[in-house]
Amino acid sequence: MPALLSKIFSEVNLGTLFKIPVKLNWSFFLLIILSLITSGPSDAFTVTLTLFSVLGHELSHSLVAKKLGIEVKEITLYYFGGIASINLKDNSSSHDELSVAMAGPIFSILLGLLLLSVKLTPFVFPAIVPMLGLINLVIGFGNLMPIFPLDGGRILRSLLKMKWGYIQATKASLIVARVLGFILLANAIIFVHQLIIIAAIINILTFAESIRFKSETLLPEEKRKINYPSNPESSVIPSPQEVGHENK
């Protein structure tokens, strides 16, 4: 059983982009299989194309970080989204964290608007093109929710950090994240059942971030600055059904 679990949660190396290793977690194939079972080949194909949108989102974070001289370890794509492992230390400037955090949503929103704009042209495009536009808008605006560790939570922390410093800003951001995460999960359970899995994952990520932060604050400041682990910039993949629900 442990060997089976390790295979399920292992990763496939897809290669490198701009000298950044890109990996695909095996759990992504579970999403493909689930889409095939519940909705058929068309949705499974849409989910597969969405993978490239998520990769672009995470690559945007990573390229801005590299431009600022910040180490980027890798990009990993999961069934719930992607994570760019970026070594933002607690003594990194607020401007740097803000720039890195905003890069992903800006890319997704601009790509979404571009793909949706094909409806305004006299040319005929496959229906999947505007669908991908909607998905990218959901990825972009969804990640702007001020729920740590989503991009919006990191944007909030970077703004608070300008006045309060790293520790107080992170504490405040985590409080906001826990409250909004609970509200999101409650609404998903009561009203929008399609969002339950994503809401649960967001709450789990927030809980994990809280534990990581608490363990770090026990270290002396000089060690935190040196040994600060990679901060994942997260984006969540919405399913095509969720996009359809949002736009009814």
Asked if the model's pLDDT at residue 213 lies above 90, the reply is: no
Give pTM, 2 decimals: 0.80
Q: How far is CA 234 from the centre of its chain?
A: 2
Establish how many alpha carbons lie within 13 A of residue 67's alpha carbon, considering only the half-sphere containing its beta carbon. 11
Q: pLDDT-based confidence at 1, cuts 50/70/90?
A: very low
> Which are the catalytic amino acids?
58
Do the beta carbons of residue 228 and residue 194 sit within 8 Å?
no
Asked if the model's pLDDT at residue 189 lies above 60, the reply is: yes
SS3 state of residue 22: strand
Asked if the model's pLDDT at residue 129 lies above 80, the reply is: yes
Residue 118 confidence (pLDDT)? 85
- Highest mean pLDDT pick, 35-44, 167-176, 198-207, 237-246: 167-176
Residue 54 confidence (pLDDT)? 93
Do the beta carbons of residue 56 and residue 38 sit within 8 Å?
no
CB atoms within 10 A of CB 127: 8
Among 85, 66, 65, residue whose Cα is nearest residue 75: 85
Higher pLDDT, 229 or 82: 82
Asked if the model's pLDDT at residue 17 lies above 70, the reply is: yes
Extract the tokens encoding 35: 């889409």
Residue 59 confidence (pLDDT)? 96
CA 30, 31, 32 angle in degrees (round to 5)? Answer: 90
Task: State the Cα–Cα distance between residues 59 and 8, nearest whole angstrom.
Answer: 24
Residue 219 confidence (pLDDT)? 56
Do the beta carbons of residue 63 and residue 22 sit within 8 Å?
no
Asked if the model's pLDDT at residue 88 lies above 60, the reply is: yes
On average, the pLDDT of the chain sits at 82
Higher pLDDT, 229 or 145: 145
Do the beta carbons of residue 104 and residue 60 sit within 8 Å?
yes
Cis-peptide, bond into residue 149, ω within 30° of zero? yes
- The region that residue 40 occupies, defined by phi over 0 for left and psi between -120 and 50 for alpha, beta otherwise, is left
Residue 6 confidence (pLDDT)? 46
Asked if the model's pLDDT at residue 173 lies above 50, the reply is: yes
Residue 218 confidence (pLDDT)? 64
